[in-house]
Structure formats: structure tokens, C-alpha cells
Amino acid sequence: MVRLSRTALAPLALAACTIAVAACGSSNNKTTSGSRSSTPAGLSLSGLASTKPNPSAQHMGGTLNVISAEGWEHLDPQASYFQIDYLVVYATQTPLYTFTPTSDTPQPLLASGPPQVSPDGKTVTVHIKSGWKFSPPVNRVVTSKDVAWAFERMFNANVQNGYASGYFPIVGASQSGTTDKPISGISTPDATTIVFHLTKPFGETMAKALTLPGTAAMPAGSTVAADKSSPSKLDSNPTTQTFTGPYMIKSYSPGRQLVLVRNPNWSRSLDGIRPAYADKIVWNAGADPAVAARQTLDSTNLLMADGPPSPELKLAYQTKKSQLSIAPLGAYYAALNTTVPPFNNVNLRRAVLAIENREAYLLARGGQLVGEVATHFIYPEVPGFQQAGGFKGFGEDFLASPTGNKTVACKYMKLAGYPNCKYTGGYGQYGSVLIVGANTDPGPQEMQVVQSGLQQLGFKTTIKAVPQQTMYSKFCGYVKAHVNVCPTAGWIEDFPDPYAALFVPFSGEAIVPINNSNWAVLNDPVVNHLIDQGAGISDLTQRYQVFAQADKRIVDDAAAIPEVWANNALVEGSKVHGVLDPWNDDWNLSFSSPS
Amino acid sequence: MVRYIIRRLLWVIVLLIVVSFVTFTIFYLLPSADPAVLRAGRAPNPALIAHIRHVLGLDRPFYVQYWRYIKAVILHFDFGYSYQFSQPVKSLILSRLPATISLTVGAVVIWVSVGVTAGAVSAIRRRSFLDRFTMIGSLVAISAPSYWLGLISLLLFSKDIGKFHIFDGANTYVGLTANPGRWFGSLILPWLVLAASLAAFYARLLRSNLIEAMSEDYIRTARAKGLRERRVIWRHGVRAAITPVVTALGIDIGFLLGGAVLVETVFNIPGVGRLAYDGIQNSDLPIIQGTVLFGAFFIVIANLVVDIAYAFLDPRVRYT
């Protein structure tokens, strides 16, 4: 999961209440605010900002001004794994492929055409465009060796890439080394061809992962000295990077200001996708979210890169709808630990899902403006959503009532061996059901919702509210902690594909001892097999159907309570034209224009 | 006096070592998050975490880790690397210090001049309308949280989102050397907000001390000698009453140089306080440790300066 800004998915401060819901249309059409008139819950979406490209109305030139509460973490493309960072990295670098604001099919960017995946799915061949040049002072043409170098950097432990080992199972690649070593599974037969040999049939999914910023070429050998440090010095001083995108980083003050200027060696015609309207982009970070939101709404020329807090969101919705965009962004769920008592019993888990009031979750997060009650784990903006049942879901009785159903819960309690519909069994090491969540809003409220449902079924409960990072690293993300319920879990896909939505949070193969993101510690061989199987299928219809089966199985396993399909809201000035990247649900600076 | 200063400076070093030890121990024994995991990012494999743990020295015993840390601080002024920004903490703090100094110095000028004047006038014209107005106003200013006051002042007086477009708003700070005019304009509102509650406190403090001082025998003597009333008040009365104000001033300056977190956050002034806030938000332990040490340093130095100032303010004070 790309790490989201604090105002987005992760269980964070009140700003999390800014997340808003929009409906999604077909399986491969991510709906932004302009294409539907209302959400399934009846929230009107008409009159919201248009966030699609509009070449006839957008003007070249000028300075694009961006403001945010969050600063940047990693602007090194091979280290970058954060929503806010992606705005910069995708404007200054060029991955092999990209998703555009109007398509969720990967488009060749540095590549010259679609990737060729061998029939066994274990070889991926990419041809890159000829004549693409690095920025000054390197100035030379990008070759396949530079792309290979980027992959070697991703597997350098000093660069600390968060997704390389998950999405690029390349022969000979290992993240334990600390030098940019050649990877035996990558070959470059000529200057414009690169071949990846994989350890498993994963080519179709890797083809989508080639849209990630780590695939952006880096001059081979240029980063040896920088990568000897941990973290790499290329990350601490991003102005020293070499760029292949429409923009270069001219100046950088961590957490304060970033200035991008045009890359003189970038060719619009060779790029073919990014228009790059602005001559300059000035980004001021570290603003107070409420102040920044008001400044943006009152301005003509600001883009706010993170979401507005709840009061400003409501203000924008009521009075300045044309400056507000609402688009789908991931999902929230409450994970139930499937490996320790009491929730190592599937019927008990189903009973919990049946009793829980999911509408109360939605209200805790901010109501209709922030989402819809979820019914499964492939969420609206992910292709395959319709095959997975769409908004209605799969029809399980234990999820039929969004406000909870005691009768159905009782049915499953009886199946679990508790005829009185009250739990009287044992607990794990904590002597009760331990619920751990973030101590910032709406974490405590969500924990109380869970607790209320559990107590109705007779469970003894203990709530522990901790800082978010503590929750990740010491409790919910730490397998040995054996936390029973983590109600403030969230997920957004790294790229628009159901594999990215399901693998890390629900596959047993993704479980790691520390900083684990499969918080339910679900290790169902059927789920694992379906996800693996789906990852290797190229036919989209078939692929989505297999993942839908995996989604259904996860629902049937009752590994987590699907809480909310969330949306994210963004605001912009009255004259600026912000264009949204639906898969990242944030602005695409190469498509946005000052006017 | 020189011996006294040297002795105090040595105690400063001891105190800072103690503060660093306590801070380090707190974060070691009660870490809010695993530093290796924070650095590693999402879904790292165990090999990566082990590597980071080794690089950060987290696989060493506590005392070895502390020794490495304090040696780096004392010998190289190295506070480590920020997990979030991937930058040396020292350079982050030093780059933000000018903004914090700008904010503090300007606010000090305002709150001292306003506070002392208001306190003196209130004390001299006790129970007058001016006195009551000043004291009620100071009560309001003390009670208002600076964060709230900052937001309200922006909504009322800032040029972009305010009702009355008077002052530069948030996110407008530039360095003094970059543009002195804009630097000054961007700090007026933050200075006023930061100075408000402190001026109020100083006014009340000076008022009560001055009332007491003005009833002393030496004041009657000064008047009997025929000195002008203004000289009696300022040269004899205020000078005697100012000592606690100087004490408070020293502590407040030291505290603010460690970062006026709330005001810097509201106005997005890139100071040390804002850096500390970001560090806490992100459990960025090197930043938290670095800013705590910096804050402690300024507070102890400020206290030393105040103590030295006493010797000049009060002839009865002699240091050996």
C-alpha cells in the first residue's frame, strides 16, 4: 500500500474525517466527481469540480502553486512510497508505464509499447523509447542499463524500497545487500531492451507494477557513492538527482518548500502523454490543514495536495462545490486475528460481523461525506469491483444488515457452540479481547463501536489506544503481539488492480513478523491460491472473476469487518485546473494547470 | 563573577548530559515505535529490518547505543538522521533556527514593551478605569490558547482569508536575508499572537510587584528628596520590581528558542517548534531527541544570562 498522507487513509487525526465517498461506475472506470450525480447513499455529486484533463480549456505556462499540510518523505524514485511524494516523483521521473487520469490500463511512458509476458508468465520483456534523455548535467540518452540500474537500486537495502520484493520477484534479487549489485534475472540484450526473469508466473501483475516510480531509469553507476549511506544520499538531497520527467527539482527544503522547473531535455512529443502545462511548480508544505484549506478555497491559484479537515470540507460542499472534488480512496476494515482465541473460530468471527453496526463506523468517520458502508474488500475504484458484487456484495447473511442483526449473530454463536448466544469460552494471553487502535480521531470512536458489538455477544474486552506508529510497529503490525482486533485498519492499492488490493492485507504469503499488513494474519490456502492464480491471468474478465472469488472467500472467512469504502476530498482555487490521478487520488502535476 | 560563570557553564554541560540521558532512556525503554520499522517503511522483509537495525546500532546494548549517541553529539555535533526527512537532524535544526529566533525576538520586544508599560501604568493608576481595563484585558489574553488566538487572528486580519485584509497571512514567511520587507510583514501577526498572553502575564506580574515596591520606604525617601515622580517610578520603583519579570523573561526566551510550537504551526513558520511537532507526529526519534536537547540548552543558557543580569540589576547580588 502506498503510504497515504495523514489526511487520507491511515487512521489519523480529525482530518481523516475529510474522506468522502463517491460512487464508481463500471469495473474499469473510476468515477470521479464529474461522472455521477449522486452516491448510492444519496449524496449529491453534481456541481463538483471537474478533475479530468481538458486540453481545450487549459493553458500552457505560468506557475502552479501547491500547498499541503504534509511534507515529503522520499523523493528518490527508488525509495518513494508515499502518496504526497508521488505527486513530485511522477512529475520529475518517468517510470516504464503509467496510468493516466482517464485510463486504468497501463500506458507506455518510458517504454515504447506494452510489456511482453511469456506464456508461462515468468519472463517479461520491455522495450524502451529511443532518444529519451536525462536532465542536465548528464544529458545523455537513457538506455536499458539505466533501467536495470533502477531495479538494482530498489533491491539495495540502503535505498529501503517498500514494495520491490513484493511486486518484482526477479531471479537473483534480494533486499539484503547494500550495494547496487547486478541482478542475475535482469538482462539487457541491447540498448532499448530489458528482460526480467521471474521466480514465479507473475508477469501479468508485474506488468502493472511497472507503473511504480521505482522503475524510473537512473544513470547506471551514478549513485554508487550516494547509496553507500543509509539512507541513500540521493534521498537526503534530491536536487542532485538526475531527472527524466517534464520537471526537475530546483530547490528543496525538507518539510517546507519544493520548487520544480522545466527539464530542458524532456520532449513532449516523445513522452506523448504528459502535457506539463506549468513552467514552474512551487509547493509550500507544513501548513495548518484548516488554514491551508481556507486559503485554497479563497484563492484563485492554489491546489491543496492533501484533504481539507471536516469543517472546511463541509464549507466547501455547501458553498464552493466547484472547487471541491470527491473521489474513491481505499477502504477501512476491522481485522480479527484468525490465529488466536477467540477469533480463531470462523463462526465466532461471522457472529461478530453480524452484530457490528457498520453504519456507526461510517458516522464515526464523518458520515455520507466520507464514505459508504462496505460489504467486501475490493473497493469501488479497483477494477473488478463489479465482478466482486459491486455495492451489494456477495449476499452473506452476516453482512446483510449495516446496523447489525442480533438474530443472525445468534445463529453463528450457536454454530460456534454457544447456544445462549453469549461467549463463555477462553481468551488468549490478555484474558479478554484486546482491541488496539490509533488514539487520534476517529480511532477511539471506532474502537468503541467494535467493543459495543462484542459486549452484546458476551465478550470481555479491553481497549488500548496508542499512537498510530506504535499501533503499526508494536501491536497490529507485530504478529507476536497477538492483538485480537485492530479496528482502524485501512488499505489502498498500489496500482489499480485487485491483486494490489488483496494480496498484502489478506494473503498468507504476505505475512511478515514485523510491520505486517495482514493484520488478521489470515492464511487460508484457498485465498492464497486464488490470489496467486489471479496474479498470473492476463485476460481481464477472467482475472477479475478469480479475484472476486478470492474476495468472496475472504468475506466468508470473516477475517475482517468491512467498514467503509472511503473517499478522499480535495480542494483547489477558483481558477486553477487540477487534474486528478484516480489511482492515487491526488493531483497529477503534469496534467494540472494554473489556468 | 568569572568563577561563577565558569562554574555555571560546567553545570550546563552536566545538565545537558543528564537531559540527553533521560531523553534517550525514555525513548529506549518506552519507545512509541520501533525505529527500524519506521525507517524501513511498509511491508519490509525481515532482512531489510535487520539491516536497518544494524545500521542504526539498535542491535547493540543500551549503554553502547547511548555512548555512540552522546559521543557523536559532543565530538561532532551530530544528532543523527531524521527518519522522515532523511536529513541530518543538526542541519534541520540549524536551518530552522533563524525563523524561531525571528519569531522570538520580535515577540519579546512587543511583550516586554507592552507588558512593562501596561503593568507600570496599572500599578500607578490603581483602580482607575485604565487599570481595570488593562487587567481584564490581560486576563482574557492569558486565558486564550495561542493556537485558537492564531486561528482567530488569521480569520479576522489576514489578507487572504481574513475579514479585514490587514496583515500577511499564514504560509507567507520568508527569511530576513531573502526579503526583509516580506519577512517583517509575515511576522507581525505571529508576533502579536505570541506576545499577547505573555504581555498580559508580565503586566500582571509587574503590577503586583510595583504596587508593593511603591509602598517601600526608599520610595518615600526618593519623593522627599524632590525627585520627579517619573524618575521615582521608573528608576526606583520599576527597577526594584522588575527582578521577577527578568527571571520570567529569561525562562520564556529560553523556552521559545526551543520552539513556539503552536504559533509556528498555525502560521506555518518553519521553526524548531514546527520541526519538533513534525517529529512527534511521525515518531521521528532523532528529531525529538535533537529538539529536546536544543530546547534544554537554550533554557539553561537563558537562566545563566538572567542570573548574571541580576548582578547588574540588583547591587546586593554578588557572585563568587
pLDDT band (50, 70, 90) for residue A265: very high
Examine the domain organization and report whether A454 and A385 are in the same domain. Answer: yes
CA distances in angstroms from B133 to B138, B192, B194, B205, listed in the order given: 8, 19, 21, 16
Amino acid identity, position A497: D
Residue A78 and residue A276: Cα distance in Å, rounded?
A: 22
**Residue tagged 533554557 (cell numbers):** B299
pLDDT score for A366:
82
What b/e string do you get for A225-257 counting C-beta neighbours within 10 Å, with b at 16 or more? ebbebbbbbbbbbbeebbbbbbbbbeebbbbbb
pLDDT band (50, 70, 90) for residue B31: low
Is the pLDDT score of B231 beyond 90? no
* Helix axes A498-506 and A525-535, enclosed angle (nearest 10): 150
- Pairwise CB contact (< 8 Å): B268 & A510: no
Structural domain includes residue A186:
yes
CA proximity to A264, closest of A247, A277, A241, A250: A247
pTM of the model: 0.87
> Is the minimum CB–CB distance between B170 and chain A shorter than 8 Å?
yes
Q: Does the CA dihedral A216-A221-A223-A229 come out positive or negative? A: positive
Supply the CATH number for residue A395's domain: 3.10.105.10
- How distant is the Cα of B45 from the closest Cα of chain A, in angstroms? 7
Residue A24 and residue A391: Cα distance in Å, rounded?
A: 9
The number of domains in chain A is: 2
Structural domain includes residue A147:
yes
Q: Are A238 and A120 in contact (CB under 8 A)?
A: no
Q: Is A266 left (phi over 0), alpha (psi -120 to 50) or beta?
A: beta
Examine the domain organization and report whether A350 and A280 are in the same domain. Answer: no
- How distant is the Cα of B109 from the closest Cα of chain A, in angstroms? 26
Examine the domain organization and report whether A238 and A353 are in the same domain. Answer: no
Of B32, B55, B275, the CB nearest to A467: B32
What b/e string do you get for B41-56 counting C-beta neighbours within 10 Å, with b at 16 or more? bbbbbeebbbbbbebb
CA distances in angstroms from A572 to A159, A319, A506, listed in the order given: 34, 13, 36
Q: What is the mean pLDDT of residues A575-579?
A: 95
Q: Are B282 and B84 in contact (CB under 8 A)?
A: yes
Among the three residues A285, A301, A320, which one is the final residue of a domain in this structure?
A: A285
Examine the domain organization and report whether A280 and A345 are in the same domain. Answer: no
Of B52, B88, B161, the CB nearest to A294: B161
Quick: pLDDT tens for A156-214: 888 878 889 889 999 999 876 666 678 999 999 999 999 999 999 999 999 999 999 99
CA proximity to A485, closest of A422, A556, A563: A563
- How distant is the Cα of B19 from the closest Cα of chain A, in angstroms? 24
pLDDT band (50, 70, 90) for residue B32: low
Quick: pLDDT tens for B186-219: 999 999 999 998 999 999 999 998 888 888 888 8
- Pairwise CB contact (< 8 Å): B268 & A514: no
> Is the minimum CB–CB distance between A480 and chain B shorter than 8 Å?
no
Supply the CATH number for residue A83's domain: 3.40.190.10
Quick: pLDDT tens for B250-278: 889 888 887 788 999 999 999 999 999 88
> Is the minimum CB–CB distance between B95 and chain A shorter than 8 Å?
yes
Structural domain includes residue A445:
yes
List the single best residue of B96, B268, B285, B288 to mutate versus A (max A Cβ within 10 A): B268
Classified as helix, coil or strand, A4 is: coil
Structural domain includes residue A58:
no
- Pairwise CB contact (< 8 Å): A291 & B275: no
> Is the minimum CB–CB distance between B305 and chain A shorter than 8 Å?
no
Examine the domain organization and report whether A445 and A352 are in the same domain. Answer: yes
Report the relative pairing of strands A103-108 and A324-336 from DSSP bridges.
Answer: unpaired
For residue B92, the chain A residues in CB contact (below 8 A) are 254
Read off φ and ψ for residue B38, nearest 5 degrees.
Answer: -60, -45
Question: Within a 13 Å sphere around the CA of B313, how many CA atoms are in the beta-carbon half?
Answer: 18
For residue B47, the chain A residues in CB contact (below 8 A) are 157, 174-176
Examine the domain organization and report whether A170 and A227 are in the same domain. Answer: yes
Using the 8-state DSSP alphabet, how is residue B234 labeled? Answer: I
For residue B51, the chain A residues in CB contact (below 8 A) are 157, 176, 178, 230
Examine the domain organization and report whether A268 and A417 are in the same domain. Answer: no
Least confident of A201-205, B26-30, B100-104, B250-254: B26-30
For residue B160, the chain A residues in CB contact (below 8 A) are 295, 298-299
> Is the minimum CB–CB distance between B281 and chain A shorter than 8 Å?
yes
Examine the domain organization and report whether A555 and A419 are in the same domain. Answer: yes
> Is the minimum CB–CB distance between A26 and chain B shorter than 8 Å?
no
Examine the domain organization and report whether A239 and A165 are in the same domain. Answer: yes
* Distant-in-sequence, close-in-space partners of A413: CB < 8 Å, separation ≥ 6: A347, A348, A351, A421, A422, A423, A457
> Is the minimum CB–CB distance between A292 and chain B shorter than 8 Å?
yes
Quick: pLDDT tens for B45-94: 677 778 778 877 788 888 888 888 889 888 888 888 887 787 889 999 99
Of B48, B86, B278, the CB nearest to A231: B86
Structural domain includes residue A521:
yes
> Is the minimum CB–CB distance between A65 and chain B shorter than 8 Å?
no
What b/e string do you get for A264-285 counting C-beta neighbours within 10 Å, with b at 16 or more? ebbeeeebebbbbbbebbbbbb
Amino acid identity, position A323: Q
Amino acid identity, position B113: S
Q: Are A350 and A510 in contact (CB under 8 A)?
A: no
Structural domain includes residue A585:
no
Read off φ and ψ for residue A109, nearest 5 degrees.
Answer: -120, -75
Domain limits for position A446: 332-568
Quick: pLDDT tens for A290-339: 999 999 999 999 999 999 988 899 899 999 999 999 988 899 999 999 99
Classified as helix, coil or strand, A427 is: coil
- How distant is the Cα of B123 from the closest Cα of chain A, in angstroms? 40
Examine the domain organization and report whether A250 and A341 are in the same domain. Answer: no
What chain A residue is nearest to B44 in terms of C-alpha separation? A162
Contacts across the A-B interface (CB distance below 8 Å): 152
Is the pLDDT score of A469 beyond 50? yes
Examine the domain organization and report whether A364 and A279 are in the same domain. Answer: no
Of B33, B95, B281, the CB nearest to A470: B33
Least confident of A127-141, A400-414, B150-164, B235-249: B235-249
What chain B residue is nearest to A80 in terms of C-alpha separation? B41
Domains of chain B: 89-313 (1.10.3720.10)
Higher pLDDT, A405 or B257: A405
* Helix axes A346-355 and A406-415, enclosed angle (nearest 10): 170
> Is the minimum CB–CB distance between B154 and chain A shorter than 8 Å?
yes
Examine the domain organization and report whether A89 and A191 are in the same domain. Answer: yes
Of A3, A175, A284, the CB nearest to B171: A284
Among the three residues A269, A285, A301, which one is the final residue of a domain in this structure?
A: A285
- Pairwise CB contact (< 8 Å): B278 & A255: yes
> Is the minimum CB–CB distance between A239 and chain B shorter than 8 Å?
no
Of A6, A295, A514, the CB nearest to B34: A514
Residue A325 and residue A32: Cα distance in Å, rounded?
A: 8
- Pairwise CB contact (< 8 Å): A504 & B43: yes
Residue A196 and residue A180: Cα distance in Å, rounded?
A: 17
pLDDT score for B285:
82
Cell of residue B168, nine digits: 500577511
Structural domain includes residue A372:
yes
- Pairwise CB contact (< 8 Å): B171 & A236: no
Is the pLDDT score of A527 beyond 90? yes
Of B88, B151, B171, the CB nearest to A295: B171
CA proximity to A155, closest of A111, A194, A190, A186: A186
Cross-strand partners of A100: A103
**Omega before A219 within 30 of 0, i.e. cis:** no
Task: Give the CA radius of gyration of chain A.
Answer: 23
- Gap between the terminal Cα atoms of chain B: 6
List the single best residue of A256, A306, A475, A494 to mutate versus B (max B Cβ within 10 A): A256
ipTM for the whole complex: 0.82
Structural domain includes residue A394:
yes
Cross-strand partners of A433: A461
Report the relative pairing of strands A257-262 and A103-108 from DSSP bridges.
Answer: unpaired
For residue A513, the chain B residues in CB contact (below 8 A) are 46
pLDDT score for B53:
80
Cell of residue A463, nine digits: 481497549
Quick: pLDDT tens for A34-43: 455 677 667 7
Report the relative pairing of strands A193-197 and A186-190 from DSSP bridges.
Answer: antiparallel
For residue B45, the chain A residues in CB contact (below 8 A) are 165, 175, 512
- Pairwise CB contact (< 8 Å): B43 & A163: yes
